[in-house]
Every structure is written in C-alpha cells, then in structure tokens.
Amino acid sequence: MINLNFFKTRKLHFYKYNLHRPLPTNQYSKIIKINRIEDFKYKVPSSYKNQILKELSLGSVLYLIEENEEICAYIFCSNNIKNIITELNIEIELSDSTYYAYAANTIEKYRNKGLYGFLLNHLINQHFNNLFIAVEDNNLISLRKIENAGFIRYFSLLKTRSYFKNKYLLCL
C-alpha cells in the first residue's frame, strides 16, 4: 500500500495587476498603512498577532482596515528583493520596482463585507504598475476577488513532494 503522506502537491498561482487604471477605494473604512512594529497598536486575535509582528520585522508594510481599534482585514506588501513564499517554502527574487502582496486575511466576524476587495483596490491605487499577488489553487474566493480586481494570471508554480524531495514545475 502506498503511503500518500509522501506525495503532497501544492499549486500556487501568481497574478499581476493589468488594468492600469485607478479603482475606487473603501467608502466606509479608513485604510491604515503601518511600516514599523512600534506603530502597531491594534486589537487582533492572538493567533494573527505573531505573524503580523514577524512580517513587520522583515520590512513588509501592513495595510489594514480597522473598526474601533480592532483589525477587520489586512494585507502585507513588500518590495524587498528577496521574498519567502511560505506556501511553497521557496525564496523568490523580485526587481526593486516590483511589489508583492501577500498574507491577506479578513477576521471571521468581518467576512463577506468586501473588505479584501477594498484592500486590493487600495494597493493598486498606491503604487502598482508592478504588483504581484500569489494565491493557492484551492482558495476559490480569493482567486475570484483577485481576478475581479483586475489581476491576470502570470504563471503558476506546482510543488510536489515525494520521498522528502521537492520538485517544482513552472506553468506559464
């Protein structure tokens, strides 16, 4: 009998923004930009706080929507040359004019209010002729929101793991 734990496949799609036009931003919430750990003063479930502080310490910028000092939704953006793609456990290098959006999350009680789309629109309006975002193949809601915001699939990476050896397949 084959042990299926030795064969694991993950597919990540990389999207690039392609419409080159400003989009409307959130009408009812202010989007806050945080560059430094010292500036992070918001309430967030403890399960998210460690990730947020870690990413800020790595030089990423946090964009968030808050209500009464409680985080409703957030997304990180980086224009670091080297970026870790945790879903695939790889490092990618980007040009210094390229931005990578990642780790978006909407806190459960604020879901289905369009906040993720508003965050994406805000990032697009900020600086993004060269904005990339990655999403896992099975995250259908996020895939739809990304495509609706004007991103097109740029390429996909398929990672397979068999007998403790990773293999990657680039899909254009």
Average pLDDT of the residues of the chain = 80
Residue 15 CA, distance from chain mean position? 11
pTM given for the model: 0.79
- Residues of the chain with pLDDT > 70, as a percent, come to 79
User: Distance between CA 154 and CA 119 in Å, rounded?
Assistant: 21
Greatest distance between any 2 Cα atoms in the chain: 57
Domains: count for the chain? 1
How many CB atoms lie under 10 A from the CB of residue 150?
18
Contact 145, 116 (CB under 8 A): yes
Domain CATH for 24: 3.40.630.30
Intra-chain end-to-end CA distance of the chain, in Å: 35
Residues in the chain: 172
18-75 pLDDT, tens digit per residue, is: 655 554 554 545 888 999 888 888 888 888 888 899 889 988 999 999 888 889 999 9
User: Distance between CA 80 and CA 82 in Å, rounded?
Assistant: 5
Tell me the mean pLDDT in the region 110-129. Answer: 84
By residue range, what is the domain housing residue 40? 4-171
Range with the poorest average pLDDT among 67-76, 91-100, 114-123: 91-100
Cα radius of gyration rounded to whole Å, the chain: 17
